[in-house]
Amino acid sequence: MQFASELAQVGGFTVLNDVVFNQVVVRCQSDELTERACARIQALRECWVGNSTWKGSRVIRISVCSWATTAADVTRSVRSFEQALRDVAASSQS
């Protein structure tokens, strides 16, 4: 739930699902931006997320599945989402 609430406060990501336990599904404004942001998040290597299709749209799927994950880990991961989106936006303007 922390991941979803922190990401909901980050501009550029929309949380699509009702978070019940440990799965969060988000997307950006377009399928292309979602794909590029996901690839950049993976390249930053702060956390691992996967891409998928949900209800016909490309999404980023987050699964927090380790008992060792702390609140600080989640916040650090959300910061990598922010960085990834900034990086992708900057590369689009070049």
CB within 8 A of 81, min separation 6: which ones?
7, 10, 13, 37, 41
Query: 13: pLDDT confidence band, cut at 50, 70 and 90?
Result: very high
Burial class (CB in 10 A: 0-12, 13-18, 19+), 14: middle
DSSP 13: -
How far is the C-alpha of 92 from the C-alpha of 9, rounded, in Å?
Answer: 23
Domain boundaries, the chain: 2-88
Q: Which CATH architecture has domain 2-88?
A: Alpha-Beta Complex (3.90)
> What digits encode the pLDDT tens for the residues 16-75?
999 988 999 999 999 999 999 999 999 999 999 999 999 999 999 999 988 899 999 999
Q: What is the pLDDT of residue 94?
A: 65
Q: Contact, 27 vs 60, CB < 8 A?
A: yes
